[in-house]
Amino acid sequence: MGNDLLKAKMVVDKEFKISEIDPRIYGSFIEHLGRAVYGGVYEPDHPTADEHGFRQDVMDLVKELQVPIVRYPGGNMVSAYNWEDGVGPRAERPRRLELAWRVIETNEIGTNEFMDWAKKVNSEVMMAVNLGTRGIDAARNLLEYCNHPGGTYYSELRKQHGYNNPHNIKTWCLGNEMDGPWQVGHKTANEYGRLAAETAKAMKLVDPTIELVSCGSSNTAMPTFPEWEATTLDHTYEHADYVSLHQYYGNRDNDTANYIASSLDMENFIKTVISTCDYIKAKKRSKKTINLSFDEWNVWFHSNEQDKQIEPWSIAPPQLEDVYTFEDAILVGSMLNAMLKHSDRVKIACMAQLVNVIAPIMTENGGGIWKQSIFYPYYYTSVYGRGVALQPVISSPKYDSKDFTDVPYLDTSVVYNEEKEELVIFATNRHLKDLLHVDIDIRSFEDYQVVEHVVLENDDVKAVNTLKSESVKPHLNGESSVTDGKLSTVLPKLSWNMIRLRRNK
């Protein structure tokens, strides 16, 4: 196809609203896994460490990303975790065999230190409880420890540990990936549903202000999906507020066109989970709507082979250290678009994870820090994708790939920030060779002009960033202009773009 033939059209109107975007859609995740906590969050001997041993270079980049909520402490790790091991005097904390990742957990960092860190990076915490090896009792005790003001055993214990004020953690996960045979304490849907419902009941008796996430499927390929959601929600529907979704993609066949279309699978996943929630709602004649918490999403496959070499029972080894390519960043941009398009139901989402472990931020122990390719779409969408998600009318040429048919070359989401009088268009051109001309009718945005057109492009789909060189980084030379209520933009071949417009005052 010749360059000048690839054209798409869009109509954007401020009245075509999907939903107010819940800022928690830009959340992330820190698990006690690999070097996420030890070497990422915490490295007391590092030159940038603060008085608590937290790396300030890491905190600076986390703050730059404006991460509103961080899921903690797992992940698979939470399913055999004793939260009591991580509180109280450090010298008395036990070293444990951490079964999920087969490492040694030193427990130098636990609930209270992580709450301190989260406060410093301006994030809330989404706390997960262990429903693998434990249950109602450990969950209600942890909640009492964290949220009860005082005068009871666990709230007084927190005070003895130096935390006079409750942490007031609002969002709690009822276990992690309990459908997965790899999970310590894996359960059938009925076993999990009953336990989660009873745990939820007890937790809401301790603190009725909390919100709870019921475990959904670990990914779309699970043989129990979506029956798992239907059966578990049958038990948890009236007690929980969200159901979780997890999904990772990888370009295992080295087929870029097919790989970057994986966000279509993510959208289908979201739609199926919404339908399943609403089926249970109808079945129960319920007035309540369950929303979605996409609390693990990202690309994960680069490190799979390397991780098999890790010596068991090491301390904070370099696990899941995917080095992300340019094409991974393209897919991450589209995964963010997929969630924004469904922001009427996806209220929480966590890029998994945040530092060192399948992460946008990488560090060297005792050394420097760098931004992976995926940092950029996450950064721009988090910082500028705040407000109301709009539903554009799109007409785009399409292609077929191995797993997908009718993949639009133009993948986009649109956000209107009424307060700032800003219109932000996130747009990917999935064409591997041709640039894409897009004409956008923005009639209802009179007097809006382009402030910036950020472009992430690269001639090498496998280009990566390292500590020493940043090959994948955005530039500001995008071609976009407004004339007579029409925004004309050119999206370079295989590129992620953010076009930001503001009303002229």
Q: Which residues bind ligand AHR (CB under 6 A)?
A: 31, 74-76, 176-177, 218, 246, 296, 352-353
* DSSP string computed for 267-336: HHHHHHHHHHHHHHHHHTT-S---EEEEEEEEE--TTHHHHTTSPTT-BS---S----BHHHHHHHHHHH
Q: Are 6 and 409 in contact (CB under 8 A)?
A: yes
Q: In angstroms, what CA-CA distances link 351 with 30, 378, 379? A: 10, 9, 11
Closest CB to ligand AHR among 111 and 176?
A: 176
Take residue 415 and report the two structure tokens written for it: 């956000």
Helix (H) or strand (E) holding 20: strand 17-20
Helix runs in 359-474, H state only: 375-384
DSSP state of 38: B
**CB-closest chain residue to ligand AHR:** 75
Q: What is d(CA 257, CA 327) in angstroms, rounded to the nearest whole number? A: 10
Please say which residue, 318 or 408, places its beta carbon nearer to ligand AHR.
Answer: 318
Instruction: Report the b/e string of 306-336 with b at 16+ CB within 10 A.
Output: eeeebeeeeebbbbbbbebbbbbbbbbbbbb
Q: Annotated catalytic, 20?
A: no
Nearer to ligand AHR, 76 or 251 (CB): 76
**Nearest distance in Å: CB 106, ligand AHR:** 18
Instruction: State the catalytic residue, choosing from 177, 229, 327, 457.
Output: 177
Nearer CB in complex with ligand AHR: 105/296: 296
> Which tokens hold the place of 399?
């292609």
Q: Which is nearer to ligand AHR, 296 or 434 (CB)?
A: 296
Instruction: Give the shortest CB-303-to-ligand AHR separation in angstroms.
Output: 11
CB 75 to ligand AHR: min, Å: 3
Q: Which two tokens stand for residue 304?
A: 């799979």
As measured in angstroms, the least distance from the Cβ of 10 to ligand AHR is: 35
144 counts as catalytic: no
- Least separation in angstroms between residue 313's CB and ligand AHR is 18
- Is the Cβ of residue 318 or residue 397 nearer to ligand AHR in the bound state? 318
Give least dist CB 47 to ligand AHR, A: 29
Of the residues 84, 98, 296, 422, which is catalytic?
296
Alpha-carbon distance of 393 to 180, in angstroms, equals 39
State how far the Cα of 180 lies from the Cα of 176, in Å rounded to an integer. Answer: 9
Please give the positions annotated as active site: 177, 296
